[in-house]
Amino acid sequence: MRGVLFAISGGFFLTLQSVANARISSQIGTWQAATLTQFTGFAVALLVMLVLRDRTYAQMRHVNPLYLSGGAFAALILFSNMTAVHELGVTLTISLFLIAQLALALVIDWRGWFGMVRRNLNAAQLFGVFMMIAGVILLKW
C-alpha cells in the first residue's frame, strides 16, 4: 500500500512540477528553468538526507557510473517536459509522458535491462498500453 501511495503522490508532483516549470520557463527560459529546478531538487534532497542523518552517502563512490546518468536524464526530462507543456498543454503532455514511461518500462522488464529481473510480456499488458493510447486520442479529440 505504501508503494501505491508514493506512486500516486509522485504522479501528482510530476504534474505540479510540469506546470510550475512551464511557468518559470516562460519568464527565464527553458534551460535556465531546468537548471533552477535541478538545483532546488538537489538542495531539498540534501536537506532531507541531512535531517534524516542517513550516513549511507559514504557509499556514493561505489555507484556504477552508468547509473549516474540519471541526473543528466533529469535535465533532458525537464527540458522536454517544459517544451511539451508549452506546445501541447498539461493534459496531453502528461498523458504522452506516461505512455512513453510505461512502454519503456515494459521493454526494460521484458529484456531485463539495468539488472532488472526479466519478466514476460503478455497480451493484457500490450492491450493496456494501446488502451492508454486510445484514451489520449479521445482526450485530444
Mean pLDDT of 36-49: 90
The pLDDT of residue 57 is above 80: no
Give me the mean pLDDT over the 24-44 stretch: 91
Dihedral-angle region of residue 116 (phi above 0 means left; psi in -120 to 50 means alpha; beta otherwise): beta
Query: What is the percent of the chain where pLDDT is above 70?
Result: 100
Distance CA 22, CA 13 (A): 14
Q: What is the mean pLDDT of residues 132-136?
A: 90
- Cα distance between residue 73 and residue 40, in whole Å: 16
Q: What is the pTM of this model?
A: 0.76
Spatial contact of 15 and 94, defined as CB atoms under 8 Å apart: yes
Question: DSSP secondary-structure letter at 59?
Answer: G
Q: What is the predicted pLDDT for the residue at 111?
A: 92
Mean pLDDT (the chain, rounded)? 88
